[in-house]
Structure 1
Amino acid sequence: MGENIQGSFVSEKISKIRWKHEDFTEAKTFLTGSWDNPVNKITYWTFETNEDNETYPAVISSHAFLGDVTELKFISKDFFVASSSLGSVRLLQIQENPYAQFKEHMSWDFIHNFKTGDYASCTALSTFEQDIVSVGEDGRINLLTARQKKPVRTIENADSCSLYCVDFLRHSEILTGNLRGHMKVWDLRNDQDIPATTFMLSEQLKTEAVSIAHHPTQRHIVVAGGGDGSLTVWDLRHNTYPISQLNAHARSVSEILFHPDRPENLFTCSVSGELWHWNNAQKTKMKLDSIDSHWLNTIGANGKVSVVSLCTAMHKPINSIDIDRSTLLFGCDNEAIYVVKDIIV
């Protein structure tokens, strides 16, 4: 491990890790979700300093959680949603006063299930302001809002196989990816339960779509990760043919993350234990609004994209990443959380 990486053993496998972003100041607290325990936890962390002036993560509060934590997403400064492998979604608040604790405001119980009555894992969720969309192993899409208990809409048979990832492209449009590598754009203004567009993650390789991320300011630029470790990039304004496709990680892509303020920087982590930083900043500082500087479309051709490994490959999957300014967090199946400082973005 490099000098800028600090690991802390936490005695549980970490499935999700998320900064709690502050207004105009550097984030100092974060959330983790665990998996593979009889009772899992969502834990709220801060950083403390020891006698040697070294900072280390310290638990502020924790909350018992039924099932594996499959996603954590903040919808405001203090409110976040968490999804479960038992098919439920919960809306929680971090209450800071008088001491930090979790308060559950809403619970959408077992909204993913199989026709046999068994639970189906809620595999992913995405948020747009107060709106939430969840997908699951049951091929169902649920549209929720933090304002009410009853789901706004359920697309019962959205897919004939498991849905693994979902992303809000805009308030009225979502993108889903499934076990067979089918990508579907759904126009939520359409009352009919049929996708507006369907295309493949890869025409050459049949692999599942396991993660999606959109460019922070240009949501039509989308990157998807495959179960085979591949990365695929689309500009959904023009067509559904990928503008770039590359073999990346040795195994499935766990998460993809654009830097929120400097989106020429992309971060990916993998079940293979790899954590990579991709940078497409040009000497001319061309950004994605230039027609010929699509993300990653020149990789391998003229070396415009640099790829840096941020840590030595772990022997266990890296499941989740999040970044605030130049500090990146990641959670791993080796029961540790890591802080990577001073990333050049």
Structure 2
Amino acid sequence: QDNRISIWSVGDLGNVGLNGEYQGEPQLLCDIRHNGDVMDMQFLDQERIVVASSTGDVTIFRHHQNNQTLSANQRWEKAHYHVDRQASCGGAACTGVICNNPEIVTVGEDGRINFFRADQKGAMRTIDNADSSTLHAVTFLRTTEILTVNSIGQLKIWDLRQQRNEPSQILSLTGDRVPLHCVDRHPNQQHIVATGGQDGMLSIWDIRQGTMPVSLLNAHEAEMWEVHFHPSDPDHLFTCSEDGSLWHWDTSTNVSEKPSFLHQGGRSSTYFSHNTINQSVVSAWLSNDPTKDRMEITNLIPNQTLSVNSLDVLGPCLVYGTDAEAIYVNRHLFA
């Protein structure tokens, strides 16, 4: 199978249909062959894209905007591997990548965490046995801290200032060890994290509080593949699933009037986070029951049956890809 990395232009905001769908033809600007399945992708900057491969390779592709071509700029071969890096088939899938230019962190099926810097040849640091199970996703909590999720329902926090290769904190779903597939951190309040996994549930965590999720919300009927807070309006969150649905979770309704209580072990404590632009004083996500009176949930693609594998959101735009081998762009999220 010939896998490719493609750069598209979706044109200007002029041609929009009644339901906010983009009507102009998206244009393929350029593409390039990719070895193995693409497991994850992240822009490092305006021109460079970091790509995780099922072969274990991690590649930086550069988009040359002057002549609309893509080229492989840098590659770390078999950054992830099972037993022997030298073996011809020894690669383990690199499952997740996160960038904070120039730093790149990757996780994989081999339970490894790699720290790379763009333009440096080898890994700056590798935690070989970070996990005995598959690591599925990674995110930065702050510049010196990352969070990983694994296939036995655990979140692990790693303090990059520490030289010892142990997590500084472990949080986990109780009971069944449900594999977690995706994680995102609240853009303004780094202690709030959302995860999703094999059971389709949405879990909201406060990493300052205890080791269990603050709330578990019934969501999809199959695996949740991706979760994203809106980067500039984090009262909105988006999840997509194998069941063919893409949900918009909106906690922005009347939140300011309601204090948020976080119950744990019989104690109730109230947290007032620093007021940030576009955000109520108290985060609705930390309510003990966020769905009560304060959340609207909408399936943005009600008639879809094939898996929605990936999504991203920026400003009024949502883009998602499905098993129909199609990419969809909704340009009027909040219309």
Instruction: Give me the TM-score of the superposition, normalised by structure 2.
Output: 0.85
Alignment partner of 1:59 is 2:59: no
Does the Cα contact within 8 Å between 1:280 and 1:296 map onto a contact in 2?
no
1:258 to 188, 206, 229: 229
CA distance in 2, matches of 1:255, 1:301: 20
1:111 to 63, 74, 79: 79
Deviation at 1:133, TM superposition (A): 0.7
Show the 5 A alignment for 1:25-174: 38-47=1-10, 54-97=23-66, 99-115=67-83, 117=87, 118-174=90-146
Partner of 1:4: none
CA distance in 2, matches of 1:305, 1:45: 34
CA distance in 2, matches of 1:254, 1:104: 27
Deviations 1:228-264 (A, max 9, x none): 1011111223333321112211111111111111111
CA distance in 1, matches of 2:151, 2:135: 6
Does the Cα contact within 8 Å between 1:243 and 1:294 map onto a contact in 2?
no
1:272 to 236, 243, 246: 243
Deviation at 1:313, TM superposition (A): 4.3
**As a proportion of its length, which structure holds more strand?**
1
Does the Cα contact within 8 Å between 1:140 and 1:157 map onto a contact in 2?
yes
Q: What code does the residue aligned with 1:58 have?
A: Q
Compared with structure 1, are the counterparts of its residues 150 and 248 closer, same or farther at alpha carbon in structure 2 (3 Å cutoff)? same
1:329 to 302, 309, 319: 319
Q: What code does the residue aligned with 1:112 have?
A: H
2:299 to 294, 297, 309: 309
Deviations 1:167-190 (A, max 9, x none): 111111111111111211111111
Compared with structure 1, are the counterparts of its residues 267 and 129 closer, same or farther at alpha carbon in structure 2 (3 Å cutoff)? same
Deviation at 1:335, TM superposition (A): 1.1
SS at match of 1:295: helix
Deviation at 1:90, TM superposition (A): 0.8
1:195 to 161, 167, 174: 167
60-69 or 319-328: which moved more? Answer: 319-328
Compared with structure 1, are the counterparts of its residues 126 and 302 closer, same or farther at alpha carbon in structure 2 (3 Å cutoff)? same
> Over the residues paired in the alignment, what is the CA RMSD in angstroms?
2.1
Alignment partner of 1:239 is 2:229: no
Deviation at 1:140, TM superposition (A): 0.7
Deviations 1:40-99 (A, max 9, x none): 0011111359xx9940212111010000111111121111211101001111211111x2
Partner of 1:297: 287
Q: What code does the residue aligned with 1:124 have?
A: G
Deviation at 1:106, TM superposition (A): 1.1
Compared with structure 1, are the counterparts of its residues 296 and 190 closer, same or farther at alpha carbon in structure 2 (3 Å cutoff)? closer
Does the Cα contact within 8 Å between 2:185 and 2:193 map onto a contact in 1?
yes
SS at match of 2:25: strand
Deviations 1:98-126 (A, max 9, x none): x2111222101111011154210000111
Does the Cα contact within 8 Å between 1:328 and 1:339 map onto a contact in 2?
yes
Does the Cα contact within 8 Å between 2:112 and 2:130 map onto a contact in 1?
yes
CA distance in 1, matches of 2:8, 2:293: 39
Moved beyond 3 Å, runs of 4+ = 284-294, 298-301
Q: How many residues align?
A: 304
2:309 to 284, 300, 319: 319
SS at match of 2:157: strand
SS at match of 1:238: coil
Q: What code does the residue aligned with 2:77 have?
A: D
- Give percent identity, aligned residues only: 36
CA distance in 2, matches of 1:249, 1:57: 29
Higher RCO (C-alpha 8 Å, min separation 6): 1
Instruction: Give me the TM-score of the superposition, normalised by structure 1.
Output: 0.83
